[in-house]
Amino acid sequence: MFDFSLSRGADDLSAVVPADRPAVRSAGDLARLIAARPADYALYFDVDGTLVDIAETPERVTVPTDLAGDLAGVRRQLGGAVAVVTGRRLADVERLLAPAEVVGSGMHGLEFQGLRSPGIEIRGIETKCIEIQNHEMRAPEALRPDEARHGVPQLAAPELDLLRADDEGPVVDSMEPRRQERPAAQLPQGLVDGVVRLAASIPGLRLEQKGPILTVHYRQIPTVGARVEAALTVLLADHGDGYHLKPGRAVAELIPDGTSKGTAIARIMTAKPFAGRCPIMIGDEHADEDAFAVARAAGGFGLAVAGEHFGAAGAAFHSAAHVRSWIADLHAGLAQ
């Protein structure tokens, strides 16, 4: 018998689930449905704030020891239909969740891997993290990108010296051979220069480039969020043709148009074993709403994790720890 006592799914989801599923009013209810018919469901998870607690920087997240095993177990029990849909690079997620196999999409739909479908391309895109301190930046040799190979412009402004890279950052590393569908979008140089100047003007901001995505982290100085978003909006108007702003939890990302977590989940849903299953997307931030919409339009579920973006009311999960306990319960229930 499945034990739901640990699922703590008391939140009323009636406002966020399709009207034709009145029986599902909590994450616990959904776990019961999955346990009864695991071949009918596919699970999609955001990573930061959903599977792991938000940390001061993305590199400093801690991964509870049971998470990889529980995720791998549920993935087996669902015939492989468990994916991540994240803004991170998939290579970073692999490091976090090792030894669990990572399947899904990274970088807001720019990367895919592990999907058994010839229609879905797989790519690896470099990233580098640069911390800006004391209004100066300097990149060590190890961080200088191979522009010829990757076609991604270097993040730098000529009048600034790069101070140091984040030592723990997911800097340039060797990628597994992956197929590149088309050249990565080119970051407009005016946009790069403007964002670098912005970051240099506000001590404590952290700037990250993930291929064609620029991410400004301000968790260490959260009061500047509105100022950062306003400045980025102005920069986009002047230099951001083909780009849009996606605010997150103490981050603001500049992303090429036409890609999102919504496009990511839509593509995964065409691949085996995800195709034909009821999609359940779980996430904690603005960017996840694009994926929620796609999942709900397909008759599935978009379940929010409470935090800085989603309030507790209407959120299926009150924290990433709640998501993890739900996964653990699901794993245990499916094993019976």
Residue (48 or 92) nearer to Mg ion, CB: 48
Residue (4 or 44) nearer to Mg ion, CB: 44
Among 9, 13, 41, 48, binds Mg ion (CB under 5 A): 48
Residue (13 or 287) nearer to Mg ion, CB: 287
195, 170 Cβ separation under 8 angstroms: no
Where does the chain show beta strands of DSSP type E? 41-45, 82-85, 104-106, 111-113, 127-131, 164-165, 206-210, 213-217, 243-247, 251-256, 278-283, 301-304
Among the listed ranges 131-139, 153-161, 211-219, 282-290, the one in contact with Mg ion (CB under 5 A) is 282-290
Q: Is 290 in the site for Mg ion (CB under 5 A)?
A: no
Cα 101 from Cα 103, distance rounded (Å): 6
Q: Is 49 in the site for Mg ion (CB under 5 A)?
A: yes
Least distance from Mg ion to the Cβ atom of residue 49, Å: 4
Q: Is 193 in the site for Mg ion (CB under 5 A)?
A: no
Residue (48 or 70) nearer to Mg ion, CB: 48
Phi, psi of 323 (to 5 degrees): -60, -45
Q: Is 285 in the site for Mg ion (CB under 5 A)?
A: yes
Asked whether the CA dihedral 134, 138, 139, 140 is positive or negative, the reply is negative
Q: What is the DSSP string of 233-300?
A: HHHHHHH-TTEEEEE-SSEEEEEETT-SHHHHHHHHTTSBTTTTSEEEEEE-STTHHHHHHHHHHTT-
- Checking DSSP bridges between strand 301-304 and strand 278-283, what pairing results, if any? parallel
Least distance from Mg ion to the Cβ atom of residue 105, Å: 14
Residue (29 or 46) nearer to Mg ion, CB: 46
Residue (43 or 191) nearer to Mg ion, CB: 43
Closest CA to 150 of 213, 230, 212: 212
Least distance from Mg ion to the Cβ atom of residue 253, Å: 12
Q: Is 29 in the site for Mg ion (CB under 5 A)?
A: no
Six-digit token string for 141: 């040799």
Among 9, 13, 17, 46, binds Mg ion (CB under 5 A): 46
Among the listed ranges 24-32, 43-51, 88-96, 220-228, the one in contact with Mg ion (CB under 5 A) is 43-51
List of residues contacting Mg ion (CB under 5 A): 46, 48-49, 284-285
